[in-house]
Amino acid sequence: MKYNSFNEFYPYYLSEHSKSGTRVLHFIGSWCALFCLGALFHSGNFLWLLTGFVLGYGFAWIGHFFIEKNKPATFQYPLFSFMGDWKMFAQLISGKLRFTK
């Protein structure tokens, strides 16, 4: 299916992150990415940028391959998936979304 907007895509994104373990790993990966972004700004060392991508996507992809057993949406919808990661992260922090169903 082709999604024409992020609002159309996001319900699909959530369906691909239905298990609590996947959401927890995404959450950890997002925190790691934010930490690395802060370290980049603090140190000016661009190795932190690479580290942030590896940790952020590494935790997320482990959840997809070993818990959810699906292919990450990043491969087909990179921008919408990136946006979905941060919307889900914000909703988990705010309590609008739960780690468990």
Q: What pLDDT sits at residue 49?
A: 98
The structural domains of the chain, with segments of one domain joined by +, span 18-94
What tens digit of pLDDT does each residue of 52-98 get?
Answer: 999 999 999 999 999 999 999 999 999 999 999 999 999 999 999 99
Q: Single out the residue of 39, 57, 59, 58 nearest to residue 49, CA to CA.
A: 39
The CA–CA distances, whole Å, from 97 to 1, 36, 37, 38 equal 25, 25, 25, 25
pTM: 0.92
Q: What pLDDT sits at residue 1?
A: 81
